[in-house]
Structure 1
Amino acid sequence: MSGTPTVAVFRPDDDRLERAVELLAELGAEPAPDPMLAVEPTDATPRTDADYVLFTSKTGAELVSEAGWEPGDETVCAIGPATADALRAEGYAVDLVPEEFTSSGLVAALESRVDGARVEVARSDHGSAVLLEGLEDAGAYVHETILYRLVRPEGSGESAELAADGDLDAVCFTSSLTVEHFLAAAAERGVQEAALEGLEAATVGVIGEPTAETAAGRGLEVDVVPDEATFEALARETVAAIDDE
């Protein structure tokens, strides 16, 4: 591939998007930032009677702090290092981070411990059923608290038009919802079919198998699924895959 590749990134419009843009630029790409997620807090906090409290995002960690959550004796679990770092930055101790930074990884880390235990899952309204079902199968009494809702920002979809015009070399989808919101934005702009055709010639990178399954189910051919479920790994491997084509 010659020239500077254009890579779309869909992170929420906060420091995550800023860091993603900086990283893509460092990797030699031209970032096309197009936030596909916006956060609507519910001001809820985890229940106080749980043996385990599970957090699945940096956003959740920050929101419970803002809402004044004060943990007791429960075991605090983070789905991955970014969530753990965010919890610690807010002054919370983190007791467990799974080896695999996914819902199934959390289940694998906890399934031998939670039989008969009360487990609180504190997350967005679009969390994977894998986590709840896996913990229930392990014998836990599971309760879910919705800390925030994820919505599609107004004005999103510039990347869909780039894809439709054949001007997008790659995309970095960071969740199933970013895939769904990208296609919804494309449809809203009347370019969904053309955007899908444009992505056939682009490199499609996704975080994790659930996102890969969503993308494939919506007609996208996935090229990159990094072993490590972090944006840095996704960006590096996606840009490298562009160069290999």
Structure 2
Amino acid sequence: MSDAPTVAVFRPDDDRLERAATLLEDLGAEPIPDPMLAVEPTGATPRTDADYVLFTSKTGAELVSEAGWKPSDETVCAIGPATADALRAEGYAVDLVPEEFTSSGLVAALSDAVGGARVEVARSDHGSQVLLDGLDDAGAYVHETILYRLVRPTESGKSAAMAAEGDLDAACFTSSLTVEHFLAAAAEAGVREAALEGLDDAVVGVIGEPTAETAAEHGLAVDVVPEEATFEALARETVTTITDE
């Protein structure tokens, strides 16, 4: 039996989950892969009359490419380096990546430039309202296109059962929706309160302040919020916190 700390990871069941598990192993942890998000594409593409088009995920970049989106003169913005890399891998030029890889960071980077401009936000059905409200406050004409819906996989919940048994040392939540889906899976299995108690004794890491707020609203005490909103930073700081305790 391994003495490595068990760390739940909730990334979608694709190369992101594989990379996350490999990173955790490299950090000396035992990853507990438990995908809490599955993608249902809508087939939509960004509108063609926008001055700016904003992407907030790798998934969105891949889906617009599959759907045949062809940009013209738009300023293409990515919320962070992973999204930017995915856009470039699909053959798109990226004009802007904010210093802070969050919705607030995108608003801060664009607020002085988008007054009177048409801004297209292309993302999932669970995107942060912070982005839309911030752009609207900056004077932009904002339109949102839903590229895909995020649902909870029916087989999810392994990590919730482990938390309820006290067998989980840490969890890395990468969005508010992963928090909500984790708790929904726990409730479905009849172990919601026990899972929350188990996480009280574990290290809870979240990828940014919006996720931290969601966790707090649901009674989860957050231990780690990395300064850089990437999974690598989240994993490293979470594993370090386990080791330090």
TM-score interval (norm. to shorter)? over 0.9
Q: What SS does the corresponding residue of 1:39 show, helix, strand or coil? A: strand
Please show how residues 176-187 of structure 1 align to structure 2 within 5 Å: 176-187=176-187
Structure 2 counterparts to residues 33-72 of structure 1, below 5 A: 33-72=33-72
Distance (Å, rounded) in 2 between the aligned partners of 1:223 and 1:47: 40
For 1:237, the aligned partner's letter is E
Matching residue of 2:238 = 238
What corresponds to 2:148 in structure 1?
A: 148
Q: Which amino acid aligns with 1:63?
A: L
How far the C-alpha of 1:155 sits from its partner, in A, is 1.0
2:21 aligned partner? 21
Aligned position for 2:220: 220
Partner of 2:102: 102
How far off its partner does 1:32 sit?
0.4
> How does the TM-score come out when normalised to structure 2?
0.99
1:134 — aligned with what?
134
Q: Distance in 1 between matches of 2:203 and 2:98?
A: 29
2:194 partner SS: helix
Unaligned runs of 5+ in 2: none
| TM-score after normalising by structure 1 | 0.99
Q: Counterpart in 2 of 1:124?
A: 124
Q: For 2:128, give the aligned amino acid.
A: S
- CA distance in 2 between partners of 1:96 and 1:5 (Å): 38
1:148 is paired with a residue whose SS is: strand
Instruction: Provide the C-alpha distance between the structure 1 equivalents of 2:197 and 2:100, rounded to a whole number of angstroms.
Output: 33
| Cα deviation code 1:49-90 (max 9, x no counterpart) | 000000000000000000000000010000000000000000
In the TM superposition, structure 1's runs of 4+ consecutive aligned residues that sit over 4 Å from their partners are none
Q: What code does the residue aligned with 1:87 have?
A: L
Letter in 2 for 1:240: T
SS of the residue aligned with 2:21?
helix
* Identity score, percent: 85
- What's the C-alpha RMSD, in Å, of the aligned pairs? 0.7
Cα distance per residue 1:11-39 (max 9 Å; x no partner): 00000000000000000001100000000
Q: Tell me, what secondary structure is at the counterpart of 1:150? A: strand
* Pair 1:209 & 2:209 matched: yes
Query: What is the alpha-carbon distance in structure 2 between the residues aligned to residue 23 and residue 14 of structure 1?
Result: 15
Describe how 1:67-82 pairs up with structure 2 within 5 A. 67-82=67-82
The yes-or-no answer on 1:197 pairing with 2:197 is yes
- Write the distance in 1 (CA, Å) between the matches of 2:94 and 2:65: 14
User: 1:225 aligns to what SS in structure 2?
Assistant: coil
Tell me what 1:87 maps to.
87
Q: 1 CA distance for matches of 2:109 and 2:226?
A: 21
Could you tell me which runs of 5 or more consecutive residues in structure 1 were left unpaired when the two chains were aligned. Answer: none
